[in-house]
A and B are shown apart, each in its own frame.
Chain A
Amino acid sequence: MIKKILVLFLAVFSVTVYAQNVTITGTVTDVNQEPLTGVNVVVKGSTTGAITDIDGNFSVSGKKGSTLVFSYIGMLTQEVVYKGTPMRIILKDDSKALEEVVVIGYQTVKKSDLTGAVAVVDTKEMKKSAAGTLVSQMQGLATGVNVRSSGRAGEDASIEIRGVGSLSNNSPLWVIDGMITEPGVDFNPADAESIQILKDASAAAIYGSRAANGVIIVTTKKGSKGPMKVNISLKETLEWSPKYDLMNAAEYIKYNDIAYNEAIKNGIATVTSTQKHSEYDTNWQDEVLKTALVQDYNVSLSGGGDSGNYFVSAGYYNNSGVSYGNNFERYSFRVNTQGKKGWFSFGENLAYSLTNTDPNQTNTYNDFLRMMPTIPVYDENNPGGYGYGDASKYNTFGVNPIAREDLEYRKMRQNRINGSLWLEFKPFDFLSYKFNSGIDLYFYENSWFRGEGNWTQNQEHRDPEGQKARDNTYNMLVEHTLNFNKDFGKHHIDAVVGTTYQHHEWEGLWASRLNFPLMGNGEYLHVLNAGQSNQQNSNSISENAMISYLGRANYVYDDKYYLTATFRRDGTSRLAKENRWGNFPSVSAAWRISKEGFFDVPWINDLKIRGNWGRLGNSSIGDWDYIGTINQSIVTVFGGAIVPGATQVKLVNTGLVWETKETVNVGFDASFLDQRLTVSAEYYNSKTSDVLAETPIAISTGNQGGSPWKNAASLRNQGFEITLGWKDQISDFKYNALLNLTTMNNEVLDLGRGDSERNFIDSGQARTEPGRSLAEFYLKRTDGLFRTQADIDNYVTSNGTPIIIDGKRPQLGDVRYLDLNDDGEITDDDRNFCGSPWAKMQLSFVFNAEWKNFDFSMMWNGQFGNKIYNVSRWQGRQFADNSNYIRFEKGEEPYQINPNSNTPRIIYGDMRNSYDSDRFLENGSYFRMKNISIGYNFKQDWLKNLGVEKLRLFATGSNLLTFTGYSGLDPDFKGVNSVWNSGTDGFAYPNTRSVMFGLDLTF
């Protein structure tokens, strides 16, 4: 299909060589006499045109007296009449265009005029990523931003800006082309033109209560003046997953028997003999993991004239998934247009996407460990025909992932239409009024079916069951803004005031039935109507609205002194009437020292310092969490019939108010050595108060459905962010490098539990307590093994009481846990804090180079100083229960074989050597070559005759090289529960390794 389009366009363009009068030749350079490549040369009033080659030369057919139009991005367009001699054209910088313009919400400002912390993500760098979503492509490209991605096809990465400031929601606010929305997995990242991240309160305050977690503003591509440009981009990626080093059947049997014999020796009641192992030797990783093919195809058409422009794109993305039963595909389509007549202009951005996801029904990376190699994939004696645990041969409750993916069917499909429409009236050049409206509609379908058949030992019987869900989301936005912008001599003032109204509505429908008939071919009819019993359905609605008033004024004096004040007032339907409205002000100032007369440092080209304060809000709670309700879908049975009931199930706190976050930010921007070195640095300190948290209440209230929200906690986040940029050119070798450095420090100030003994929150291996970071590791401590009888004899409390582990005294080779509370028993009370899951420093490094027609780039990122709890290692070293084991390296064999090793005595049916403890806590630091890419741009003169403007071939390798001491599959993982267990690697899907080949063609 795409080939056909390509051929068609090539054919059309080759026709442009027609009857010529004379050949006009010439050279285009910039003011420094450097040749300019790719300058658009058009004979005015015709469709004839050309593009300058690498030496700035062009040739085009025309007549003497023809006017030629020269245009180039970042340069002022020039019109020159051909007088018969070869032309020498010098294009001048368009100073406006040269200045990078940054969108800061309802306004744009020159990047050099910024007073707040705004990061700009280079979308060109993102294109080099093999990742499939906007968020995952942003990893490492901005300071203060933490992106964690996963190897699951169809799952988006998580993103946090400047740490965790809330306990209810830590996702930033996304504004795409003026519409408040989320990109998710459906957004085609190829459509993004620019991305800016508003990190501090002054930058984000214009978004008020929605902005506490930062704001990400995405602008999609637009057409530019000139003939139609066609861009075709094709990427093919091969992805594969890292694997555990697990035992084969013979090794597994050896160690499993040792563990069983140890149990028999110790009189573990349920064990009387070793397992009756089978002859099978299944490599579950080989059965489930495969090399995935990822296809990413994009075509865009763009162009425009004086009265308008257009950009149309279509994309197809397909990830066949590295794990059996997991795949994802996306079709996307976008139309962006703008028009202008006199003082009136309009624009629209409309995107449609369709995604199909087949998720894994089981965590296959957990199954690899829990399924022993002695279990066959298929076993006709079991219901459904798959192998799984058996009490006498291979006693495990692990899931056969092949069976589960085959027997359990789930497909998710989402249609999404998203876009905005704006009208602008600009009666004066200093004043404009803009009306902006947006929609974001999701139509989500989820189909699930399970036939008869089992995937694990001891599954209770379940009749064939089918479920369907349909969720529709309708988001709407209406905004009116008035913009003012005027210079008065050296004074510059611009301002915006406006109102916005946002409305969100969601409705979910769900239905299910049981007892679906089996057809002759062994397949079931899945349609719900085929289900013969137990019709069930549910329906619920969520709805909320927000009204806001906003305003911002910027004052600049002589590009030296900057002052900005912002104010936003938000009202939300999610809080009770009396607490509904919140005010979110901010002020900021900057001083460009380098412009002062007294500043005379020749090697410093620019130096600006800035500082600000602001307040933001958050009310990310349910729509009606402030008022108690009666559940009327309660049922009970009398006389064999179902009768309805009604009762209050969940309690609420009625007086909920806005969560507020106050931030102070100071920073500077500087450039040195003729702009070759640029430095930007920030320090911030933010405090969130009245943090909404689901604080536990007395169980005996009878509350169900989760603890009610309460304005309970307060948190502090602070950190430094530094960006260093360097660019230079040595003859025709051009290169630049960028270093991003982020530190983050998070502290819980208060959990709002007063002096209760429970002034902490436990979550898995972590505990959150005032005075510490959120969810620091809280584990039993160990001190090696008992290697001599004396070690055991000396294992007593301070008053000499023998210490008991799991009700018993330890034996040689057992793990020595520390009895921290000195009570003679190892229990959960012997845990203490032993490390933070939060990196002390995040670092990323981007390097780009161009030499002749070759380009090279690489991106490294890493984090340092964090701990990871390695659950897969715990599982792979777990002999108390059956699972496969992580292969022992030499010297690491268990105590029974190697009394000098650090691996304890292995024993089945006895947990004492398998407690969660610091033994499985590892250093999570890593530094990874995220991408390495090499490209070749075909020579202009080769392409010219084909009518091709640009053709680039490239190859990119992702995640191919990682330096880390972490023994799990991937130190860069996305936690299951991002805040509370962020450092626990609980069989997270590792990022895939990949090699991508691509082609980028523009004509």
Chain B
Amino acid sequence: MKKIYCGLMLAATLTLGTGCSAGLLDIENPNEVTNETYWNKPEDATAGVNACYSFLYKEGTWMRWLSFRYDLTSDEGWSSSPWIELGDWTRFLYNNYNFYEGNTVHWEHFYVGIFRCNQVLSKVPGIDMDETTKNRVLAQASFLRALWYFQVNLLWEKGTMPLEPMDASYVPQDASEQEIWDQIEKDLIFAYTYLPETWDAANLGRATKGAAKALLGKAYMQQHKYDLAKEQLSWLIEREGSLYDLIANRQDNFTDLDENNKEGIFEIQFDDQNKGGTGNDASMAFGFQRTQFYAPSGIGWGDGKARRWLVDEFLKEKREDGTNDLRLYHSILYRGFSADFPDQSKKYYKFDNADWNEGWGMDAEDCYIRKYNTAYYRDTEDYFARNNYRIMRYADILMNYAECLVETGTQPKDAAVYVDKVRNRAGLVDLVDSQWKDCLNSKEAFMKRLQTERTLELCFEGWRWADLKRWGLLDSVQGIDELKARDKDFNNFVIGKHKRLPIPRDEVSNSTVGGEVHLTQNPMY
């Protein structure tokens, strides 16, 4: 009897204890494949690079907060948000360097974008696949990595520069602004070498050769390498059979009615099919969220506003037909706009008479940003606007090109041709025939006028901050005085400090090993 039971016990113990026990503990993850088993098929390469684009739809990019950095921090806009700290980060009051929405979100999101590109750039070369397709995948990832590092340089003027996927023990290391520009150039040269000039309809939105060249041109310009920049930009402008031109109806650069057109060089493909959150899942939203933050009370939250001087600047010059510049009507909502634009609708979203509403503020500075609004198809805002954001468009490149020309010795009147294209579309006469014709007398005068021409065409399109930096306005007392006159937030600006953001404090701390800081804080912070 005893033997029987001992046997039973032993059998039970052995069953669990040896034979299959190892197997019982080997449970495969049914949710996701592992790193080791991925990255071996051509589809993996395509999916990998698609995931790089997916990161354009995140709060730290142009979808939401980046406009606070480039548009509101510059002299074009300001923040009246009741969230004081949010507003402080548009007026050079940087106290908590870890403030997420003002600083860390960008650092984090740019580097997540870079991590995704680095995965593609390090894993895809090992995949056995068609070389052309492979190179196109690598070129797209290179373009996007350069796009992210470009933002790192615009915001912090330095960073750390991982070029392959790093593990959890990674220690950030100082990479200078110049080292980062060098890498951006390298990536963009590779990108334009292998990217196609166009994609088929199903792939609209992927980076093209023109996008890589435009971005490379801009990278050179930020370094004042105007010769090299001119060469890249001329490919878009001067080349026989160029794909690019201005569209007739300028306003459609900001709607979903004519997307990926000949004026669009690189666009974020916003869409309202998904209405989920911003997590990394299949229901992720692809909507443009900025206008929810900028539209006035009742439609949005009025967190970001336009500076009044822009309105006045627009009103200084009439169109050839004697009316006011419609670009003003389409860019800024201000009290009394209907008197300046009697032929234009007063309706704005659900407000039949948007001129004016007491709750929107009675101060002259209470001007709302209208560019990229979606009032043309709905009554209220939300987080899912479907109009593409044009990171780069041809009008911008034309004026960049004009700048490169004068900077490399071309006569202002010859460079003005490219500015006039933009002016003419807006119904304005050529510079030479305008009240500004004196600007053609010198390079300096031309540059000063170009600075205004650019903001009138491009305000709230994310380039003003880069422009101010490039033009040196942030480096001199004279420059800051000029900006103060337009935007009182510059009263807080300290030269040598505020042209760049502080590195998020936690990241500086994360780089500390053995008491040595490997990612040093920016000067004066």
Is B77 positioned at the interface, with any CB of A under 8 Å from its CB? no
Residue among B32, B273, B381 making CB contact with A630, cutoff 8 Å: B32
B residues near A730, Cβ cutoff 8 Å: none
A629 in contact with B111 (CB, 8 Å): no
If A501-B24, A540-B31, A646-B48 touch, does A425 touch B301 (CB 8 Å cutoff)? no
Is A636 positioned at the interface, with any CB of B under 8 Å from its CB? yes
Residue among A547, A641, A701 making CB contact with B166, cutoff 8 Å: A701
If A458-B297, A646-B38, A646-B44 touch, does A698 touch B33 (CB 8 Å cutoff)? no
B residues near A705, Cβ cutoff 8 Å: 280
Residue among A433, A540, A696, A704 making CB contact with B280, cutoff 8 Å: A704
Is A549 positioned at the interface, with any CB of B under 8 Å from its CB? yes
If A629-B29, A807-B93 touch, does A643 touch B280 (CB 8 Å cutoff)? no
Tell me the nearest residue of chain B to A827, going by C-beta. B95
A residues near B507, Cβ cutoff 8 Å: 698-700
CA A700 to CA B9, docked complex, whole Å: 55
Is A728 positioned at the interface, with any CB of B under 8 Å from its CB? no
CA A544 to CA B206, docked complex, whole Å: 41
CA A51 to CA B506, docked complex, whole Å: 74
A697 in contact with B168 (CB, 8 Å): yes
Instruction: Report A385 CB to chain B, min CB distance, Å.
Output: 17
Instruction: Report B485 CB to chain A, min CB distance, Å.
Output: 19
CA A827 to CA B116, docked complex, whole Å: 36
A700 in contact with B44 (CB, 8 Å): no
A-B contact pairs, 7 of them (CB 8 A): A545-B27, A623-B27, A627-B34, A630-B33, A631-B280, A638-B203, A702-B115
Tell me the nearest residue of chain B to A538, going by C-beta. B281
A499 in contact with B17 (CB, 8 Å): yes
B47 in contact with A645 (CB, 8 Å): yes
**Beta-carbon contacts under 8 Å, A430-485 to B:** 431, 433, 435, 458, 460-463, 478, 480, 482
Interface string of B87-110 (1 = CB under 8 A from A): 000000101100000001001100
Most buried by A among B26, B38, B199: B38
Tell me the nearest residue of chain A to B32, going by C-beta. A629
Residue among B1, B27, B202, B280 making CB contact with A638, cutoff 8 Å: B202
A460 in contact with B382 (CB, 8 Å): yes
Instruction: Report A278 CB to chain B, min CB distance, Å.
Output: 16
Tell me the nearest residue of chain A to B200, going by C-beta. A639
Is A381 positioned at the interface, with any CB of B under 8 Å from its CB? no
B residues near A635, Cβ cutoff 8 Å: 54, 274, 282, 284, 286
A residues near B29, Cβ cutoff 8 Å: 623-624, 627, 629
A699 in contact with B513 (CB, 8 Å): no
Is A703 positioned at the interface, with any CB of B under 8 Å from its CB? yes
Tell me the nearest residue of chain A to B159, going by C-beta. A700
A residues near B359, Cβ cutoff 8 Å: 391-392
Instruction: Report A541 CB to chain B, min CB distance, Å.
Output: 5
Q: How many A-B residue pairs have CB under 8 A?
A: 269
Is B53 positioned at the interface, with any CB of A under 8 Å from its CB? yes
A residues near B269, Cβ cutoff 8 Å: 636-640
B203 in contact with A639 (CB, 8 Å): yes
A700 in contact with B170 (CB, 8 Å): yes
Interface string of B70-93 (1 = CB under 8 A from A): 000000000010101000000001
Size of the B side of the interface (Cβ < 8 Å), in residues, is 103
B residues near A634, Cβ cutoff 8 Å: 47, 50-51, 54, 280, 282, 284
B25 in contact with A545 (CB, 8 Å): yes
Is A911 positioned at the interface, with any CB of B under 8 Å from its CB? yes
A residues near B53, Cβ cutoff 8 Å: 636, 638, 645
If A638-B204, A758-B506, A758-B510 touch, does A700 touch B111 (CB 8 Å cutoff)? yes
Instruction: Report A465 CB to chain B, min CB distance, Å.
Output: 8
Interface string of B200-216 (1 = CB under 8 A from A): 11111110000000000
Is A33 positioned at the interface, with any CB of B under 8 Å from its CB? no
Is B512 positioned at the interface, with any CB of A under 8 Å from its CB? yes
If A460-B382, A638-B205 touch, does A536 touch B12 (CB 8 Å cutoff)? no
If A639-B201, A645-B47 touch, does A630 touch B34 (CB 8 Å cutoff)? yes
Residue among B24, B281, B506 making CB contact with A699, cutoff 8 Å: B506
CA A571 to CA B48, docked complex, whole Å: 36
CA A534 to CA B205, docked complex, whole Å: 23
A residues near B199, Cβ cutoff 8 Å: 638
Stretch at the interface among A150-158, A600-608, A649-657, A950-958: A649-657
Instruction: Report A895 CB to chain B, min CB distance, Å.
Output: 22
Is B249 positioned at the interface, with any CB of A under 8 Å from its CB? no
Instruction: Report B483 CB to chain A, min CB distance, Å.
Output: 19
Instruction: Report B401 CB to chain A, min CB distance, Å.
Output: 28
Residue among B12, B32, B84 making CB contact with A631, cutoff 8 Å: B32
B residues near A758, Cβ cutoff 8 Å: 506, 509-510, 512
Is A708 positioned at the interface, with any CB of B under 8 Å from its CB? yes
A residues near B5, Cβ cutoff 8 Å: 425, 427, 433
CA A380 to CA B104, docked complex, whole Å: 42
Residue among A482, A540, A637, A696 making CB contact with B510, cutoff 8 Å: A696
Is B276 positioned at the interface, with any CB of A under 8 Å from its CB? yes
A571 in contact with B54 (CB, 8 Å): no
Stretch at the interface among A165-173, A251-259, A749-757, A764-772: A749-757
CA A568 to CA B7, docked complex, whole Å: 22
**Given A639-B202, A756-B510; 8 other pairs, CB 8 A cutoff:** A460-B292, A543-B30, A545-B27, A652-B168, A697-B510, A699-B507, A702-B115, A911-B84
Instruction: Report B138 CB to chain A, min CB distance, Å.
Output: 15
The bracket for how many chain A residues form the interface is 35 or more
If A645-B47, A701-B168 touch, does A629 touch B31 (CB 8 Å cutoff)? yes
B25 in contact with A630 (CB, 8 Å): no
Is B264 positioned at the interface, with any CB of A under 8 Å from its CB? no
* 6 cross-chain pairs, A with B, having the tightest CB-CB distances, nearest first: A702-B115, A645-B50, A645-B51, A647-B51, A629-B32, A758-B509
B residues near A543, Cβ cutoff 8 Å: 27, 30
If A392-B359, A699-B104 touch, does A571 touch B80 (CB 8 Å cutoff)? no
Tell me the nearest residue of chain B to A571, going by C-beta. B25
Is A266 positioned at the interface, with any CB of B under 8 Å from its CB? no
B residues near A905, Cβ cutoff 8 Å: none
B residues near A392, Cβ cutoff 8 Å: 358-359
B162 in contact with A571 (CB, 8 Å): no
Is B178 positioned at the interface, with any CB of A under 8 Å from its CB? no
Is B380 positioned at the interface, with any CB of A under 8 Å from its CB? yes
CA A969 to CA B39, docked complex, whole Å: 57
A547 in contact with B93 (CB, 8 Å): no
Is A47 positioned at the interface, with any CB of B under 8 Å from its CB? no
Instruction: Report B95 CB to chain A, min CB distance, Å.
Output: 6
Residue among B160, B169, B203, B515 making CB contact with A755, cutoff 8 Å: B515
Instruction: Report B359 CB to chain A, min CB distance, Å.
Output: 5
CA A499 to CA B8, docked complex, whole Å: 13
A644 in contact with B12 (CB, 8 Å): no
Is B167 positioned at the interface, with any CB of A under 8 Å from its CB? yes
A residues near B9, Cβ cutoff 8 Å: 433, 480, 482
Instruction: Report A702 CB to chain B, min CB distance, Å.
Output: 2
Instruction: Report B150 CB to chain A, min CB distance, Å.
Output: 16
Instruction: Report A926 CB to chain B, min CB distance, Å.
Output: 35
Is B222 positioned at the interface, with any CB of A under 8 Å from its CB? no
CA A647 to CA B112, docked complex, whole Å: 11
A residues near B111, Cβ cutoff 8 Å: 699-702
Is A573 positioned at the interface, with any CB of B under 8 Å from its CB? yes
**Beta-carbon contacts under 8 Å, A679-697 to B:** 696-697
Residue among A270, A636, A701, A755 making CB contact with B51, cutoff 8 Å: A636
Tell me the nearest residue of chain A to B115, going by C-beta. A702
A637 in contact with B205 (CB, 8 Å): yes
CA A536 to CA B95, docked complex, whole Å: 41
Instruction: Report A780 CB to chain B, min CB distance, Å.
Output: 13
CA A705 to CA B2, docked complex, whole Å: 56
Is A18 positioned at the interface, with any CB of B under 8 Å from its CB? no
Is B409 positioned at the interface, with any CB of A under 8 Å from its CB? no
Is A633 positioned at the interface, with any CB of B under 8 Å from its CB? yes
Is A229 positioned at the interface, with any CB of B under 8 Å from its CB? no
A458 in contact with B382 (CB, 8 Å): no
Is B437 positioned at the interface, with any CB of A under 8 Å from its CB? no
B residues near A199, Cβ cutoff 8 Å: none
